[in-house]
Amino acid sequence: MPLRVLALCLGNICRSPVAEALIRRELAAAGLDAVVDSAGTGAWHVGNPADPRSQKVAHQHGLELTGTARQLAPADYGEQDIILAMDRSNLERARRLAPPTARAKILLMRDFDPEAPGECVPDPYYGGPDGFGDMYRMLERSAREFARRVAAGH
């Protein structure tokens, strides 16, 4: 059975699509069988592609963001093994919405960032392009460490 991972942010157009692509890349590089997806806790952008600024930063690093935004669904709690929230607000919302039968572990993405464990990935939506570069670096470190720990059996 492949590991099933969901990256989660607010609208599923900035942070979580980039996290999805990075987690997929790092797990594959570690030789791990995984299905990686992303979602948002809100429905504002459902059906839309990733923000052009996220697409640009991903493309600069050889990643393509091909999915469209979707909202976190009740089924995700049973289908996913791990849900990685980008910030505490989305972490708490995901935990509040979790049904009693939820099997997915809900964690903070930067729990895996060796430079700042437990910190949030700031939402770059209302900022300039530098915020997207900073976001990418945080997510890349976190995804790499996440894959390392999964490969080590943690």
Alpha carbon distance 57, 22 (integer Å): 12
For 4-15, the pLDDT digits (tens) are 999 999 999 999
Q: Which residues pair with 9 in a beta bridge?
A: 40
pLDDT at 129 over 90: no
DSSP-assigned letter for residue 81: S
Helix (H, G, I), strand (E, B) or coil at 60: helix
Q: What is the pLDDT of residue 146?
A: 98
Q: Which CATH superfamily is domain 3-151 in?
A: Response regulator (3.40.50.2300)
8 A C-beta contact, residue 78 and residue 106: no
pLDDT-derived band at 56, boundaries 50, 70, 90: very high
Q: Is the pTM of this model over 0.75?
A: yes
Alpha carbon distance 59, 50 (integer Å): 12
| Catalytic positions, written as ranges | 9, 15, 123
- Say which amino acid occupies 88: R
